[in-house]
A and B are shown apart, each in its own frame.
Chain A
């Protein structure tokens, strides 16, 4: 079964702080994604990547940067965190060879910006 891990699992920071969320997948998937989950909005795509060094903009990218350093590792960066970025963040991966790009999710990172 696909394995996606995230760290940290919980993070508290202050407004204006720097935060880096990490994601690693060990399934040799080429696609990786960052989502935020908020009540009433479901899962919204922030950024995604189809390989090391590649970055694609998602649907809610403002205030976020991302970097894919290797096939396995995808990072989400909040350089000036704001309270509106308090959310539950999920990383996911998929394989372009898989039917319909089925996505496998990590356990999530709960971020609180005070």
Chain B
């Protein structure tokens, strides 16, 4: 069945280092992929989205490329900041207006 897998539950990094959060998906439909970010005590907000194969999409210093050949949509940033500490969800369009979410990756940035 359709699914979204995020392999890391917690990623801890020092400020200024690069990060990659993994996301792979299985979908019956042509893929629409999203990354949502949720800061502490806030609602999830859209960070990135894509449906175009092999095209990099960027927002607020984060970027991701949808690779249909490997069913992946990994989130990257070249230099993390303290303010990037948050919960990150990968999601895929499912059907009938629904999204299916991964379990989320908590990103914790240390000074």
> Could you say which of A68-76, A77-85, A99-107 contacts chain B?
A99-107
Tell me if B98 and A45 are in contact (CB < 8 A). yes
Closest to B97 in A: A31
Closest to A35 in B: B101
Interface residues of B in 73-91 (CB under 8 A from A): 89
- Complex Cα–Cα for A14 and B88 (A): 32
Closest to B99 in A: A103
Interface residues of A in 44-96 (CB under 8 A from B): 44-45, 48, 50, 56, 58, 90, 94, 96
Tell me if B98 and A42 are in contact (CB < 8 A). no
Q: Which residues of A contact B20 (CB under 8 A)?
A: none
In the complex, per-residue mask of A10-25: 1 if CB is within 8 Å of any chain B CB, else 0: 0000000000000000
Tell me if B43 and A94 are in contact (CB < 8 A). no
Tell me if B49 and A42 are in contact (CB < 8 A). no
Interface residues of B in 81-111 (CB under 8 A from A): 89, 93, 96-99, 101-104
- Complex Cα–Cα for A100 and B51 (A): 8
Select which of B9, B45, B51, B102 is within 8 A of A105 by beta carbon: B45
Sampled A-B contacts (5; CB under 8 Å): A42-B103, A50-B97, A99-B32, A102-B46, A105-B44
Residues of B within 8 A of A (CB): 9, 32, 34, 42-46, 49, 51, 89, 93, 96-99, 101-104
